Chain A
């Protein structure tokens, strides 16, 4: 299991992704993991959803088998590859690429990761164009957490670049919280 950052909030949240598993060995007393069943024990063959961190935990110890989520399955990948830019990945998972990477590291399956790399690049190029041509901020609604971070950093860097070009860079700026509170933050 690859640890990506004990303290990293996004890593923790990505790990919460619901994953379908099938129990491969009955565990006495573990029914609390599946509260809906009302059972005391976790029985073999039970299929239910648990967070990714727990799924990996159980799979490593051969207590359960992970099922690849639909969003990484063939039919969904086909939709994605058709036009990667317009799909709202955020609806599928706010941590789409992180979850994909973690599952790939774990399952060592590899089939779904290559098309996803292409999807990522296509979306990234699209993002880059949006950033440098200063377009509609509504695009944010379709972006995953990672993409949104890229977008915001890109916008900030572009703004700073133009400021530097016009020699406005030497002006000391108010700290972010002052700006947040004055509500006078506007994208130029």
Chain B
């Protein structure tokens, strides 16, 4: 069972997730495929009765290969989890939860509860009720409702885009395969149109 294609896709998904300030859509189909493959490969390796040195060597290679796939998946899930933690209040306030898997959502809900409980017991319950909320709609006194949208990211153009106006007033003529470093908020619509990729 070859996972080559899925591994490439997973690597790309991981890379994108690492550079993007927002949380991206959970690649559920991809993850499911990889998890299923990992589980069946592990079962296969466990079932091999080792009778020769060659077999032992072979099994170890399979196991290491599997370990590396597990690492890749772990990294993807971990990266997302840490982002979810960092953006927890933002995601809850702005209702961006549709980017998360069901399991991540369950994690977020419990995480949100344990964190707010910590804040409440340590501090918020000691101050007047009117000022206890953290999820205030008022932007000037509560957590950001947007992650760092102006964070600069590297992009590669998948298609010729033509002239693009930059924040400092200049224009850039973006052609296919060009690489640029630009603010995320500027290029976000282009990602959605699948005209560029994050690198």
Contact = CB atoms under 8 A, between A and B. Distances in A.
Interface of A: 1, 3, 5-7
B107 to A, nearest CB: 19
A3 B140 CA distance: 7
Contacts, number: 10
Nearest to B143: A6
A7 B148 CA distance: 12
B178 to A, nearest CB: 24
A102 to B, nearest CB: 14
A1 B144 contact: no
A37 to B, nearest CB: 28
Contacts of B142: 6
A114 B148 CA distance: 23
Interface string B109-151: 0000000000000000000000000000001101110001000
Nearest to B142: A6
A101 to B, nearest CB: 12
Nearest to A7: B143
A1 B138 CA distance: 13
A7 B143 CA distance: 7
A166 to B, nearest CB: 21
Contacts of B143: 6-7
A129 B144 CA distance: 36
10 contacts: A1-B140, A3-B139, A3-B140, A3-B144, A5-B144, A5-B148, A6-B142, A6-B143, A6-B144, A7-B143
Interface in B131-184: 139-140, 142-144, 148
B131 to A, nearest CB: 15
A82 B140 CA distance: 39
List of 5 A-B pairs having minimum Cβ-Cβ separation, nearest first: A6-B143, A6-B144, A3-B144, A1-B140, A5-B144
A104 to B, nearest CB: 14
Contacts of A6: 142-144
Contacts of B140: 1, 3
Contacts of A5: 144, 148
